[in-house]
Structure 1
Amino acid sequence: MALFKAWCAGTKDKSKKKTFRTYSEKDGGRAAVLTQLGEAVRTHYDQADRIADDVARLGYDGASEILRALLPQSKRARSGDLGEILASELVEEDMGFRIPVRRMRFKDGREVAMRGDDFIGVGYDPDEKLWLLKGESKSRANLGNVTIAEAREALNRYGGRCTPDSLLFIANRLLESADKDDIELGRTIRDEVGLKALRANRIDHMLFTVSGNAPAAKLQKNLEEAGDDRNQHVVSLHIEDHQAFIAEVYEEAMNLGSK
Structure 2
Amino acid sequence: MVQFNDWCDSAFTPVGNHHVRVMTGRPADLALGQQLTAAAVPTHYTSKERITGALSRLGKTAAAKMLTDLLPQTQQIRSGDLGEIYATEWIEAHSGYRAPIKRLRWKDHRNMAMRGEDVIGMILDPATQRLRFLKTEAKSRIDLRSQTLEEARTGLDKDGGLPSSHALSFISARLLDLGTDAPLVDAIDEALYRHGIPPDSVKHLLFTFSGNSPQALLIKALQTYPGPIEQWGVGLHVNEHAAFIGAVYDQVIADANQP
Q: Following the alignment from structure 1 to structure 2, what is the Cα–Cα distance between the partners of residues 2 and 74?
A: 22
Cross-structure match for 1:201: 200
Any runs of at least 4 consecutive aligned residues in structure 1 with deviations exceeding 3 A, and if so which?
Answer: none
Deviation (angstroms), 1:256: 1.9
Cross-structure match for 1:210: 209
Q: Give the TM-score taking structure 1 as reference length.
A: 0.93
Deviation (angstroms), 1:190: 2.3
The AA in structure 2 aligned to 1:65 is K
* Cα displacement string for residues 223-246 of structure 1 (whole angstroms, at most 9, x for unaligned residues): 111245222100111111111111
Cross-structure match for 1:251: 250
Across the two proteins, how many residue pairs are aligned to each other?
257
C-alpha contact 1:42 1:253 (8 A) present in aligned 2: yes
C-alpha contact 2:212 2:239 (8 A) present in aligned 1: yes
Q: Following the alignment from structure 2 to structure 1, what is the Cα–Cα distance between the partners of residues 93 and 87?
A: 10
Structural RMSD (CA):
1.7
Moved more, 32-41 or 211-220: 32-41
C-alpha contact 2:130 2:187 (8 A) present in aligned 1: no
Moved more, 51-60 or 158-167: 51-60
Cross-structure match for 1:73: 73
C-alpha contact 2:83 2:140 (8 A) present in aligned 1: yes
Cross-structure match for 1:147: 148
* Cα displacement string for residues 105-136 of structure 1 (whole angstroms, at most 9, x for unaligned residues): 11111111111100000112231321000000
Deviation (angstroms), 1:56: 2.5
The AA in structure 1 aligned to 2:133 is L
Structure 1 residues without counterparts, runs of 5 or longer: none
* Cα displacement string for residues 39-92 of structure 1 (whole angstroms, at most 9, x for unaligned residues): 211000011121122223333322111111111011111111110000000111
* CA 35–217 in structure 1, closer or farther in 2 if over 3 Å, else same: closer
Cross-structure match for 1:48: 48
Q: Following the alignment from structure 2 to structure 1, what is the Cα–Cα distance between the partners of residues 190 and 245?
A: 38
Q: How does 1:98-177 map to 2 (within 5 A)?
A: 98-127=98-127, 128-177=129-178
Q: Does 1:237 align with 2:236?
A: yes
Deviation (angstroms), 1:166: 0.7
The AA in structure 1 aligned to 2:19 is T
C-alpha contact 1:133 1:205 (8 A) present in aligned 2: yes
Q: Does 1:83 align with 2:98?
A: no
* CA 59–34 in structure 1, closer or farther in 2 if over 3 Å, else same: farther
Q: Following the alignment from structure 2 to structure 1, what is the Cα–Cα distance between the partners of residues 20 and 33?
A: 24
**SS of residue matched to 1:176:** helix
Cross-structure match for 2:14: 14
**SS of residue matched to 1:142:** coil
Q: Following the alignment from structure 2 to structure 1, what is the Cα–Cα distance between the partners of residues 195 and 16?
A: 26
Deviation (angstroms), 1:177: 3.1
Q: Following the alignment from structure 1 to structure 2, what is the Cα–Cα distance between the partners of residues 93 and 56?
A: 31
The AA in structure 2 aligned to 1:110 is R
Q: Give the TM-score taking structure 2 as reference length.
A: 0.93
C-alpha contact 1:117 1:166 (8 A) present in aligned 2: yes
Q: Following the alignment from structure 1 to structure 2, what is the Cα–Cα distance between the partners of residues 168 and 112?
A: 22
Moved more, 129-138 or 191-200: 191-200
Q: Following the alignment from structure 1 to structure 2, what is the Cα–Cα distance between the partners of residues 159 and 8?
A: 34
C-alpha contact 1:175 1:187 (8 A) present in aligned 2: no
Deviation (angstroms), 1:15: 4.7
